[in-house]
Structure 1
Amino acid sequence: MDQTQMNVIEHLAELRRRIIITGIAFVLSFILAFIFVKDNYQFLIKDLDGKLALLGPGDIIWIYMVIAGVMAIAVTIPVAAFEIWRFVKPALTKVEQKVSLAFIPGLFFLFIFGIAFGYLVLFPIVLSFLTGLAGDQFETFFTAEKYFRFMLNLSLPFGFLFEMPVVVMFLTRLGIINPHTLVKARKISYFILIVVSILITPPDFISDILVIVPLLLLYEISITLSKIIYRKRLSSDTNVVSN
């Protein structure tokens, strides 16, 4: 076996180790979240008038697993990012190692902020609008499965989409992208974000607008942050060359 094959095997073994650690973190987080899932369930339905209906015995298990799963994902994100960082660390310079490590906490907090934005801001607005359409003509009746699926569709995607600014800052700091590229890709990026917004929201115009606008603002914020990081990187590189 030549050196190249040995290196590939070592990298695969290292990658496997990182994946296993991340998987263990998710499982432990899921188990811990499941222990307190009833309290979280009560918090999520505290603003509802009355109780949610179950159409089958398996519905409540699905709901509890979804709630615990989302909490486990939130906890696992920084762990997964740290394991990725440890995997690619040997290929990074000392400066790149410090810079990339500093971005990991931001991934966690932006994920939480994104879910909170979807749940606390968008979800009640869209739910109120849709139930308002029924008026007095229909009897409003929520099943637990459809209610939480609707909540999940409006909240969870924002947890990942709100990672956009920190990912853009990270890639800009490493020199992989720059603000000029983001500006040139604005039209296609807008199109992709609009398509994503339509796919994750209920089929009504108001819901689409409420999701599209924050995503486009996130993209513009990402461009602004990229410009700041890009200028700092250029200034740092210039100082290094001068010295």
Structure 2
Amino acid sequence: MTQEQKNSGVEETFISHLIELRNRIMRAAIAIIVVFLCLMPWAAHIYDLLAAPMINALPVGSKMIATGVITPFLIPVKVTLLLAFVIALPWVLYQLWAFIAPGLYTHEKKLIAPLVISSSALFIMGVAFCYFFVFGVIFHFINNFAPKSISVAPDIDSYFDFVMTMFIAFGMTFEVPIVVIVLVRMGLVSLEKLKAIRPYVIVGAFIIAAIVTPPDIMSQMLLAVPLCLLYEIGLLVAPLFVRATQAPTEEETT
């Protein structure tokens, strides 16, 4: 085989991978769009569910306000689109897995598949923890602290931005065990080193919580404490994961 034929074969393989990637992305996008269109008739009710923790904390009869002209339409649409992405996430992850799986060895599939599934599940758990527990505590604390001379009526645009920030913060916090596992599995940091820096991790957890949460001790505790606990869970699970995903050559050397 000539060099020109080899280059032609490599180019064809590269193009075929690009076509496959495009098809996978299109399938994932179509799934999100279909779910979004199915949910659109209930967009207002979906936003009401998102706003429920705040509404429940407000005085009886109080409501949120919309100061923008198209905000009453745009914000529910954004919330519905995000919900559609979450619902379609298993299909999106399947498309990702179907694209990369053919090029992986058996032990690599054992490594990637659990990480993809567990990281997605942990992120959703973090969002759920924030919605069902943290919001209730934070909003009641803030609204009870507000002076009686103030009429609390949050703007839905500001509320949406706050909620998304908190969702991302708690979702990423629940990814800490995955970060620990990857660091140990890839050999970037030893398990003993991660245990040794535990005091610094605790301090860092409270610093991160102070930055991303409202400026009250309750909110900071609700983020920092789970972060520390999840770090400990990562330290416990990492050795088990390393042993379960070792390649044959690695097993022979251990």
**TM above 0.5, one fold?**
yes
Distance 1:93 1:30, change over 3 A: same
**Residues 7-28 of structure 1, C-alpha deviations (whole Å, 9 max, x = no match):** 3333333222222222222222
Distance 1:84 1:185, change over 3 A: farther
Counterpart pick for 1:85 among 97, 113, 117: 97
> Which residue number in structure 1 is paired with residue 88 of structure 2?
76
> Which residue number in structure 1 is paired with residue 239 of structure 2?
227
CA distance in 2, matches of 1:9, 1:222: 40
Counterpart pick for 1:155 among 148, 167, 173: 167
Gap regions ≥5 residues in structure 2: none
> Which residue number in structure 1 is paired with residue 18 of structure 2?
12
Query: Could you tell me how far 1:182 is from its partner in structure 2?
Result: 4.5
Larger radius of gyration: 2
CA distance in 2, matches of 1:204, 1:62: 31
Give the TM-score normalised by structure 2.
Answer: 0.74
> Which residue number in structure 2 is paired with residue 113 of structure 1?
125
Counterpart pick for 1:53 among 52, 65, 87: 65
> Which residue number in structure 1 is paired with residue 145 of structure 2?
133
Gap regions ≥5 residues in structure 1: none
> Which residue number in structure 2 is paired with residue 39 of structure 1?
45
CA distance in 2, matches of 1:59, 1:124: 25
Distance 1:143 1:85, change over 3 A: same
Q: Over aligned residues, Cα RMSD in angstroms?
A: 3.4
Q: Is contact 1:164–1:222 with CA below 8 Å preserved after alignment?
A: yes
CA distance in 1, matches of 2:25, 2:202: 33
CA distance in 2, matches of 1:128, 1:233: 46
Distance 1:230 1:97, change over 3 A: closer
Q: Is contact 2:32–2:84 with CA below 8 Å preserved after alignment?
A: yes
The alignment partner of 2:214 has SS state of coil
Counterpart pick for 1:65 among 73, 77, 82: 77
**Percent identity between the aligned chains?**
27
**Residues 175-225 of structure 1, C-alpha deviations (whole Å, 9 max, x = no match):** 435645654675776676555534432234432232122122222212211
Q: Is contact 1:118–1:156 with CA below 8 Å preserved after alignment?
A: no
> Which residue number in structure 2 is paired with residue 176 of structure 1?
186
Query: Could you tell me how far 1:232 is from its partner in structure 2?
Result: 4.2
CA distance in 2, matches of 1:195, 1:18: 40
The alignment partner of 1:32 has SS state of helix
Counterpart pick for 2:27 among 15, 21, 33: 21
Aligned residues: 239
Distance 1:76 1:93, change over 3 A: same
CA distance in 1, matches of 2:13, 2:193: 34
Matches within 5 A, 1:84-103: 84-97=96-109, 100-102=112-114
